[in-house]
Amino acid sequence: MSPVWPSPAVPVRSVWAYNFNAESDSLRSAARRARYVAVNVHYPGVVHHAGGQDHNTLTAEQRYALVKANVDGLTPLQVGVALYGNDDGYLGAWEFNLRDFRPRADPHDEKSLAYLARRGLNVGALRDHGVRADMLCATLFESGLISPRRGPPRSWITYAGAYHVAYLVKIVTRGAALPEDVAGFDDAVRRYLGNQVYDVAWMAGDCPAMPLGLERIAAHLGFHLPLWSPQLAAAAGVRALQVFMHLKYGEFGGNVQMYRGLLEGLH
């Protein structure tokens, strides 16, 4: 079933400690019908850089080494998950607010935290009222979204996704260090997410009429803002999913296999 455009405004369900069990049940129920899953992770910036070297001149292994150094050393703040079913359309979006980050002790980039604060992220509230990343890990496994052999085939969607997918791998491996090289990372992605992982940034880059940036693309295509939390991780997941569905069926005739496994910022 191909989607109908424009899609309706998708509600975002903000998940904290007080409603974690109820919202986890809701996610598990919706996951049974999901065939597309979008993920976006908010994290406290990057602290390891390429030393002034143009990122585009780095090899894939050099780019991955930077991703690994940052993801291994930093703590995710918020995870957004948006679901789409072939028969049901948009199933909703969940925004998991994580409590593990310690702003006074953990490495971070102050400008990145300030940017997220301007978009509405309250780091203090995360620490006081959020959920542990290992609780989210358990929910994702119980839902069947992780470890694709347990359920029907699904596609995972992201935008400029090297860090988003890398943090997701860190979460579902309970904080373990990322694999040592790109091949090991690609194996881990296939193990936990399957072999249908797509980055909307790669796809949009082959569409000359598309502007740069996920929010600009979504606005250009006329998509409604997500409801209740329009500027944080789940909203970005919703937008990535909306744009992916439009590009897959509206620009590429349903065939996007050439983009499978390619993550912007890594491959």
Predicted TM-score of the model (pTM): 0.96
Report the distance separating Cα 190 and Cα 179, nearest Å: 13
Q: What angle do CA 56, 176, 237 make, to 5 degrees?
A: 60
pLDDT band at 151 (very low <50, low <70, confident <90, very high): low
Does 35 score more than 70 pLDDT?
A: yes
| Kind of pairing between the strands at 155-158 and 36-42 | parallel
pLDDT attached to residue 242:
96
Mean pLDDT, range 32-42, rounded to an integer: 97
Q: Encode pLDDT of 237-256 as tens digits.
A: 999 999 999 999 999 999 99
pLDDT attached to residue 107:
97
Average pLDDT, the chain: 94
Does 152 score more than 80 pLDDT?
A: no
Q: Encode pLDDT of 207-241 as tens digits.
A: 999 999 999 999 999 999 999 999 999 999 999 99
Does 2 score more than 60 pLDDT?
A: no
Low-confidence winner among 22-31, 95-104, 131-140, 142-151 (lowest mean pLDDT): 142-151
Task: Count helices and strands (H / E) in the chain.
Answer: 10, 6
Q: What angle do CA 101, 21, 18 make, to 5 degrees?
A: 60
User: Could you write out the DSSP letters of every residue in 127-176?
Assistant: HHH-B-HHHHHHHHHHHTSSSGGGSS--EEEESS-HHHHHHHHHHHTTTP
Give CA torsion, residues 140, 145, 151, 155, to 10 deg: -170
pLDDT above 70 covers what percent of the chain?
96
pLDDT above 90 covers what percent of the chain?
89
